[in-house]
Amino acid sequence: MPKLKHINIEEYPYLVTTVTLKRKPIFASPDAANIVLEAILFGKKQKWYYLLSFVIMPDHIHFIIIPKGKNISECVKSIKGYSARRINSVLGEKGSIWQSGFYDYILESEEKVLSRMRYIEDNPVRKGMVAYPEDYKFNSVNYREETDLKEYFWFFRVFNG
């Protein structure tokens, strides 16, 4: 992955995509996917970001966050670093599990957030893994109470008209 510059804008949602090294399907293992899920939810609990949506696919993850305690690069580094250390420990492996870098996209409107959420949550359906988004365990559809979605839409409507 090329070395990308990341713009840090507070209070805006970012769609982030990051991929495993050589697209190895590490997260096809529920144990490995659970570790990434823990890492994503841990960052939210630590108030590093607001969490709106995510999906953990076998060889990549997508998520939408609004950084608050860390910038976007620090948030992604924390998720990737923690998950790599834990997965390597559990699997008895060493080395990187992630490609370096990540892609991010700033979502400047409620419509874009909703559109990208649908894209993220429908990813397992598009890939033929399940019939419905809620049938895929590692999908924010199944963790709505763990996300900040309700708070985000309230905030967005109040402060952005």
pLDDT in tens, 123-157: 999 999 999 999 999 999 999 999 998 877 655 55
Q: Domain extents for the chain?
A: 14-159
How much is the pLDDT for 158?
Answer: 42
Torsional sign, CA 115, 120, 125, 127: positive
DSSP-derived 3-state class of residue 59? coil
- 33 and 61 in contact (C-beta within 8 Å)? no
- Per-residue pLDDT tens over the stretch 14-68: 999 999 999 999 999 999 999 999 999 999 999 999 999 999 999 999 999 999 9
Cα–Cα separations (whole angstroms), residue 116 to 24, 81, 83, 106: 24, 25, 24, 11
* Residue 16 φ/ψ, nearest 5 degrees: -120, 140
Please say if the pLDDT value at position 103 is more than 70: yes
Asked if CATH classification 3.40.50.1820 holds for the domain at 14-159, the reply, yes or no, is: no
Q: Exposed/middle/buried for 39, CB within 10 Å: 0-12, 13-18, 19+?
A: buried
Determine the pLDDT at residue 134: 96
pLDDT (0 to 100) of residue 3: 55
pLDDT at 83: 97
| Helix boundaries (H) for 17-141 | 30-45, 72-91, 110-126
More confident residue, 161 or 94: 94
Tell me if the pTM is above 0.75. Answer: yes
